Amino acid sequence: MVRKRGFFPKHVLLQIVLIPVVIMFIALVMMFGVQSSVREDAVFVISAGDTVSGVAHKLMQQKLIDSEQVFKMAVRLNGGKIQSGQYDIPVAASSWKIADMFANGRVASTTIVIPEGLTIKQIKSLLLRASNLTGGVECESGNTAPVCNLQDGQVFPDTYRVAKGTSRLALLDLARKKMISVENAWRAANKKLPKPLKNWNEVLTLASIVQKETPQAREMPIVASVYLNRLRKGMRLQADPTVVYALTDGLGDMQGQALLRGHLKIENPYNTYRNSGLPPAPIANVGENAIRAVLRPADTNYLFFVADGKGGHRFSKSYEEHKKNHATWRKIKKQK
C-alpha cells in the first residue's frame, strides 16, 4: 500500500512551528530586555561568588530590572557568566545592557593621581582620602609581599585609572610595578650613567633631590648638573630637601614650619650639609622628568643656585656670584 506524502516536508513543518516561538522570544526580549525600569543612576556591586540567579534577584529587589528570567536569558546570550566588581548603572539601562555590562566586566572606574615628589607616607595619606578605593594602606602582620615594605623611590607618580573599589594596596602595587618597568626600560637601553653615579638607586636618589628643588621640568637638567658638578668636585650637596626629610622622619613636609639655620646641623645620614655624597636612598618618589634630567643633565659649570622669586632659580659658577644672587633673593623675600 502506497502512503500519501504530506503537503509539507518535515523540515518545513518544523520551521513553521518554530517561527511563532522565535517571534515570541524576540517580543519578550524587546519588551523586557530593551525597555528599562532604571529611573536614576544606580550603583550595583557583584561580589566574588555571586550567582546569576542571586544577582537577578537583587536587581529585582532594587527595581533595576522588570524580569529575572529575561535578565538571566540576556546573561546566557552574553556568554552565561558575570564578573564581580562595582558597576555604575545609568538611567534607562535595559536588562540587556545591564547583562552585557556584567558579562563583559564593564565595571565603574575612578582616576587616582599620584603627584610627583611625594614621599611614601604622603602617598599613603593621599590614598586614604580617596573615597573610591577600599581597604587600608598597610599589610597584615607577617605579609612579606613587596608592597608591604615600600621605600621612597619605589613608586612611580602617575595618573592611574582603576576600577572603583580597588584596594589601596593594589593601587600601590600597581605604582610599584610601573617603577620597575621604568627601571627595566633604562637597563634595556644600556646607556652610561653620568659620572660619578654608579647605579639606579643613585639615579633615583639624585632625581628625588632635583624633584624637590624645582617643579619646572625645563630647570631640572640644570639643577641636576649643579649637583653632579658638586659631586665630581667632592663638595657637599647642601640640599635643603634632604634636611627636611631628616627632620620630619621621612614625611618630607615641614607642615608650615620654617627651615632654620640650626636645622642644618641635625645628625642624620640624609643631611647633606653634614655628610658628603648622596643620601643613602631617595627622599621622594620621582617622575619621568626628574629621572631624565639626571640621566641627561645640562652641560654647565654651575655650582650654586638660589630662588629668583618667580618660581625659578638663579644659577652661578662661583660662590661670590652666588652670594650676590642670595642677597637679591633676601630682598625679594623681605618685600613679599
pLDDT per residue over 156-197, tens digit each?
999 999 999 999 999 999 999 999 999 999 999 999 999 999
Mean pLDDT over residues 51-77, rounded?
Answer: 94
Query: Among 3-17, 215-229, 283-297, where is mean pLDDT lowest?
Result: 3-17
User: Please, what is the Cα angle at 155 between 153 and 157, to 5 degrees?
Assistant: 105
pLDDT digits (tens, 9 = 90+) for 19-43: 666 666 665 555 555 677 788 999 9
CA–CA gap between residue 207 and residue 285 (Å, rounded): 9
Answer whether residue 62 shows pLDDT above 60: yes
201: pLDDT strictly greater than 90? yes
- Mean pLDDT of the 143-147 span: 97
Are 216 and 262 within 8 A, CB to CB?
Answer: no
Give the model's pLDDT for residue 22.
62
Q: What's at 219, amino acid-wise?
A: E
User: Could you tell me the fold of the domain covering 19-104?
Assistant: Dna Ligase; domain 1 (3.30.1490)
**Residue-wise pLDDT tens digits, 113-125:** 999 999 999 999 9
Question: Dihedral (C-alpha) 38, 42, 43, 45: value to the nearest 10 degrees?
Answer: -20
Model-level pTM greater than 0.75?
A: yes
- Burial (CB count <10 Å: 0-12, 13-18, 19+), residue 206: buried
**In one letter, which amino acid is 33?**
G
- Map out the domains of the chain as residue ranges: 19-104, 109-138+146-188, 191-335
Question: In which band, very low, low, confident or very high, does the pLDDT at 208 lie, cut at 50, 70 and 90?
Answer: very high
How would DSSP label each residue in 206-223? Answer: HHHHHHHH-S-TTTHHHH
| Residue 288: burial class (beta carbons within 10 Å; 0-12, 13-18, 19+) | middle
Output the DSSP codes for 206-269: HHHHHHHH-S-TTTHHHHHHHHHHHHHHT-----HHHHHHHHTTT----TT----GGGGG---T
Is a pLDDT exceeding 80 seen at residue 293?
A: yes
What's the average model confidence in pLDDT over 144-159? 98
